[in-house]
Amino acid sequence: MRDQDIALRALRLAKSGGATDAVSIVRTTDLRMIRFANNSVTVSNGILEASLSLFMMMKERRASLTTTNLSSSSLDELIRNALGMAKLSLPSDVYAPLPEGPFKYRKELISIGDIRLLIERLPEAVKAAIDSAMSAGAQRVAGTLIAERTEKVLRTTGGAEGTHASTCYNLSVRAFADSEATGQFSKVATHLTDLNPEDVGRRAGEIAKKAMNPKPVDPGRYDTIIGPMTVADLMEEVALSASAFSVDAGSSFFTESLGKKVASPLFSLDDDPSDEHAPGSARFDDEGLPTSKKAIIEDGILKTYLHNSLTAKKMRTRSTANAGLLRPRPFNLEVRAGEKSLEDLISMVDNGIYITNNWYLRYQNTRNGDFSTILRDGLFKVEDGKIAGPIRGLRLSENMLRLLSNIKAIGAERHWIKWWEVETPTLAPAMLIGKVNFTKPTL
Amino acid sequence: MSFMLKNGMLERSNLYRSEGIAIRAIVNGSLGFSSTNDLGRTSIRKAVEIAISSARATIGLARSPVRLSEEELSDGKLVVKPRIRFGDVGFDAAVDLLKDADAAVSKPHDGRDVKMVSRLLSVETTQCEKLLITSDGASTYSSIPRIAFDYTLIGTHHQKGSAMRSSTLGESKGWEAIERWDVVKLMNEEGDVMGRLLEEGVSAPTESVDILLGGEVVGLICHESSGHPSEADRILGREAAQAGESYLSIDSIGLEVGSPVVNVVDDPTLPGSYGFYLYDEEGVRARRRYLIKEGRITEFLNNRETGAAIGCKSNGSSRASSYNREPIVRMANTYLEPGDMSFEELIEDVKKGIYIRNFTEWNIDDRRFNQRYTGFEAYSIENGELGFPVRNPTVEMTTIGLYRVVDAIGDDLRFWGATCGKGDPSQGIPVWTGGPTIRLRDVRLGGT
């Protein structure tokens, strides 16, 4: 069966089984990945996948299913079982009917990126990234190049009908100047010609070379320049907390913050699914609503939570068309650019730190925003407006709301970041944040 | 299937059925992997072509040819049957049990002014079937059920702020595991702890003290700073751009990293464990591995690829989360071996200390050397007696710094479930982390 026929059949089975509302999505993916380490390709992956996701409501009762077995007999059985679960389930506190279509979606977004994956050109892109990092000072290079083509068919009982296809290329390079001096950079693009593997490799190599022979530094509070890789990671956390799911669960550090100041007035963050050059763009959300650009935070004020129909009804507002099947989520996060170059940001600091990357961000408490994250790759001391040299061993131990409030300046140059630690494509600049807290091991 | 209660309401109930085939091929030292969910002959043929053609396309860039170690490969079958199948419980009865657990944690506890404002309780049950055939003779079949109970709780006090607690229990069992865990009693206890912690908790001391770490913290420490750095693919640099490398090198066997009482084991063969298996994804029979014995590095976790690269045998560590993920080196059930001291014996000669029973925040660097664990349920110790609750005591230490100050091990070994993330595309696999209570001498708490 064709994807449209599978989606339609699942919807009919849901309705005939008693569902008042249903969303049927068939997603087909061709993912190619070349992984490399020690300047050598370690494995080439090719993952072909088609799946059906079906979300059903019987008024206040709901159930969902996801399957990669698309045979008629398996679908019949699964849908019957899921409907049985919905009938037996406890009613939710809210029933929000699916949005009533039909809807018009932007034609420019029917197909984003290359029409087909340029698989045959991936090895040369990997070679270019490795060679560039080595030329910039790396002794060895590791990384991942991903090329992914996704096609999506959506049908809803609300009359929404949509198709969407997108191509995404994602390169992440980690360069080693020695075993502990590392630099990492990434880029995500909709066209292979925009990926520029030489630039990604060069940036990683340059950071690694500068990170050689790091010195210990005292923990404490420092004015800090945070590079785009770490800004992207922080923005994903901001968006997660802005999801109405988190707010409704009581687990968000933005609880009861709508319309209030949550960040420096210099800071604005948008979610823009309608940018045809952005890797996460989509014509419709998972309820079939046409997507649109929205400010999550504007001039430091929390403008909206990210909603689907259910959370919107609960909070007496309109959906922002950010439905995922289970919870609202962003498509493309974009930090609005400032006016400072990286050199300008560094020149503003007398005694501070420059972070290029981090990982393992974990919360002590998501509701108040206390967290810590390990800093990795190039980490530098800044003195008298200049990079004084590499340092090591620090952990950023902070509070999300305090970080957002202490933003002092924002960079003009932005980069599309997506890598192992950052799932949502994010257009991120560097930032200067005042008095950031750092800790280190006591033994 | 999985279902989740959010603040007492059924937020999600989801059925998940996934099936497909994975192909792994080596062409002149270049490794290709492919998968498809379509089990038709044409699709499988295409997947094979992709595995071979993609490996062939990168032969020139595969400067370190992939080889597999010679092994005695398995021809076996493992079928684990749940004693109580989820289908026999009834979905409504299962949800009712979670409702009772939610009511137990959200009710007022000892009249305290603490509200449990965020409660996410979820159950996931799976049945995983795998059939493995390799060109060099392995042929194995396994069918293993798994069940997990996962919870995240946030409590607030109008003057003392808020606190968060998360944990997971998991086993390769059926619904009988949920019944044995007594999740209603567990949530009642968590509610009691949250109430007392928020109302009576005081700040952690800043001077050096003795520290007792509970088994839940010890299990996480063993997983993060003993299990991960022992993964040979990390040591060889294969995960360098993602999960990172290791503070250990291939020459580290025999290296002293802890006190002589420290023995860390990874054992996939524990019946009923969340990380249970008997045949790995390359057809190698699973076995118990000593990662650290009497304080010294003893063995790495190897698959056939790393075994051949290092010049040793695989010890059955190859795992994949699903057919659509490449099998790589993974842990199974990682734990600190118990000693023979009771909790009372561990605490009796501690003049001033902290007992950290479990944790909230944690993280570790990508070489697995700089780690941090912030306690959730924690108490002061004064002259051998437990005292008042302490909020957010943080152990922030290097791996060797931590393992070397362990001076005593309790006899109270327990296990917790976890999903370990690694690989690219990322893959989460079920594991147990476990440990008894341990004692660290003369440590300054960190985190400020």
**Structure confidence at residue A326 (pLDDT):** 82
What is the chain A residue with the closest CA to B239? A37
Percentage of chain A exceeding pLDDT 70: 100
The predicted model gives B113-117 an average pLDDT of 95
Phi, psi of B188 (to 5 degrees): -60, -45
- Count other Cβ atoms within 10 Å, centred on residue A100: 12
Q: Tens digit of pLDDT for each residue in B2-24?
A: 999 999 999 989 999 999 999 99
B280 and B318 Cβ atoms separated by less than 8 Å: yes
Chain B contact probe: residue of A2, A25, A40 with most B CBs at under 10 A = A40
Give me the interface pTM, i.e. the ipTM: 0.96
Only one residue has tokens 């930032």, namely: A431
Could you give the percent of chain A with pLDDT greater than 90?
94
Q: What is the pLDDT of residues A6-39, one digit of tens each?
A: 999 999 999 999 999 999 999 999 999 999 999 9
Residue B31 to residue A40, Cβ atoms within 8 A? no
Q: From the list B14, B36, B446, which residue is nearest A66 (CB)?
A: B14
Average pLDDT, chain A: 96
Residues of A in contact with B50 (CB under 8 A): 46, 48
Interface test with B, best of A28, A78, A90, A176 (most B CBs within 10 A): A90
SS3 B333: strand
Convert the pLDDT of each residue in B72-95 to its tens digit.
999 999 999 999 998 899 899 999
Q: Strand B427-435 and strand B333-336: pairing?
A: parallel
In chain B, residues with a C-beta closer than 8 Å to the C-beta of A90 are 9-10, 95, 99
Nearest residue in B to A48, CA atom: B36
At A249, give phi and psi (nearest 5°).
-75, -15
Pick the closest to residue B1 from A81, A72, A298 (CA basis): A81
Confidence of residue A147 (pLDDT cuts 50, 70, 90): very high
Check CB contact under 8 Å for A142 and B240: yes
Q: Given the structure tokens 């993974």, which residue do they identify?
A: B330
Number of H helices, E strands in chain B: 10, 26
pLDDT digit string, tens, across residues A413-437 = 999 999 999 999 999 999 999 999 9
pLDDT at B286: 98
Q: How many cross-chain Cβ pairs, A to B, lie less than 8 Å apart?
A: 278
Angstroms from A383 CA to nearest CA on chain B: 23
CA distance, residue B363 to nearest chain A CA (Å): 6
**Is the pTM for the entire model greater than 0.95?**
yes
Omega before residue B425 within 30° of 0, cis: yes
Predicted confidence at residue A180, as pLDDT, reads 85
Chain centroid to CA B43: 35
> How far away is chain A from the Cα of B323, in angstroms, using its nearest Cα?
10
pLDDT exceeds 90 at position A179? no
A92: nearest CB among B9, B236, B370 = B9
* Shortest alpha-carbon distance between residue B56 and chain A (Å): 9
Coil/strand/helix, residue A287 = coil
Q: Which of A27, A32, A39, A44 to mutate: most B Cβ within 10 Å? A: A44
In angstroms, the CA B55 to CA B24 distance is 10
Tell me the three state secondary structure of residue A234: helix
**CA distance to partner chain A, nearest, from residue B239 (Å):** 7
Which of A13, A43, A180, A420 to mutate to test binding with chain B, by most B CBs within 10 Å of its CB?
A43
Q: Is the pLDDT score of B447 beyond 80?
A: no
Confidence of residue B194 (pLDDT cuts 50, 70, 90): very high
Q: By CA distance, what is A126's nearest residue in B?
A: B61
Look at B54 and A78 and tell me if their CB atoms are within 8 Å. Answer: no
Alpha helices in A399-440 (DSSP H): 400-405
Contacts of B16 in chain A (CB under 8 A): 65-67
Tell me: cis bond preceding A102? Omega within 30 of 0 counts. Answer: yes
For residue B264, name the pLDDT band (cuts at 50, 70, 90): very high
Confidence band (pLDDT; 50, 70, 90) for B446? confident
Which residues of chain B make contact with A32, given a CB cutoff of 8 A? 54
Query: Quick check: B444 and A443 CB within 8 A?
Result: yes
CATH superfamily of A3-209: PmbA/TldD superfamily (3.30.2290.10)
Per-residue pLDDT reduced to its tens digit, A110-139: 888 988 899 999 999 999 999 999 999 999
Tokens of A303: 């403008």
Tell me the backbone φ, ψ of residue A46, rounded to 5 degrees: -135, 110
Find the residue in B nearest to A144 (Cα): B241
* Residue A249 Cα, gap to closest chain B Cα (Å): 6
Distance from CA of B106 to the nearest CA of A (A): 13
The CA-atom distances, in angstroms, between B352 and each of A262, A297, B202, B375, B402 are: 41, 47, 15, 17, 19
Q: CB neighbours of A220 closer than 8 A, spacing ≥ 6?
A: A437, A438
Chain B residues near residue A45 by CB distance under 8 angstroms: 32-34, 54, 326, 425
Question: Is A443–B426 a contact, with Cβ atoms under 8 angstroms apart?
Answer: no
* B251 backbone dihedrals φ, ψ, rounded to 5°: -95, 5
List chain A domain ranges.
3-209, 214-439
**Do the chains contact at A42 and B31, CB–CB below 8 Å?**
yes
Residue A93 has pLDDT above 90, yes or no: no
With contacts defined as CB-CB under 8 Å, which chain B residues touch A69? 17-19, 37
